[in-house]
């Protein structure tokens, strides 16, 4: 697991596997600058195979974003689990007592349930909207 600055192309590769649109290098720079921290997993050859980042108000709430693991990797489930466990451990140490929410792809469901997340507790479903500048 490493924390250095990831390359936008590598992040966009994982983003594309999740069916999302790529982000510009400038957008990645802003996203990472606004994050509390991020974690990455690389294979021995240096290829990025896992990523997650966190934001927080540093009081009550923490959010995990961009949780991805390479869907071509046979260990995708273990990569997801390692990312979730590492992120939760860090949040518990740094921000004990914060509620944690996240946005994650379906491939992360087993890892999340293994770590105690309840999918749609009490039938509550999260919703989101992607805001785009006019003319985009």
- Residue ranges covered by each domain of the chain: 8-123
- Which CATH number is associated with domain 8-123? 3.40.630.30
Question: Which percentage of the chain shows pLDDT scores above 70?
Answer: 88
Alpha carbons 109 and 117: distance in angstroms, whole number: 9
Closest CA to 111 of 69, 57, 66, 54: 69
Question: What is the structure's pLDDT at 77?
Answer: 94
Question: What is the structure's pLDDT at 120?
Answer: 73
pTM: 0.84
Q: What is the mean pLDDT of the chain?
A: 88
Q: What is the pLDDT of residues 109-136, one digit of tens each?
A: 899 999 988 877 777 666 666 666 655 4
Q: Is 58 left (phi over 0), alpha (psi -120 to 50) or beta?
A: left
Average pLDDT by stretches of 10, the chain with 136 residues: 79 90 94 95 93 94 94 94 96 92 86 86 66 59
């Amino acid at each position: 697991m490493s924390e250095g600055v990831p390359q936008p192309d590598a992040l966009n590769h994982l983003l594309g596997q999740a069916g999302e649109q790529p982000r510009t290098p400038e957008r990645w720079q802003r996203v990472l600058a606004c994050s509390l921290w991020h974690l990455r997993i690389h294979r021995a050859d240096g290829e990025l195979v896992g990523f997650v980042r966190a934001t927080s108000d540093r009081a009550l709430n923490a959010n995990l974003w961009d949780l991805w693991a390479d869907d071509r990797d046979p260990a995708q489930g273990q990569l997801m689990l390692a990312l979730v466990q590492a992120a939760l451990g860090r949040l518990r140490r740094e921000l004990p007592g914060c509620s944690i929410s996240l946005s994650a792809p379906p491939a992360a469901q087993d890892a999340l349930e293994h770590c105690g997340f309840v999918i749609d507790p009490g039938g509550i479903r999260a919703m989101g909207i992607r805001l785009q500048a006019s003319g985009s």
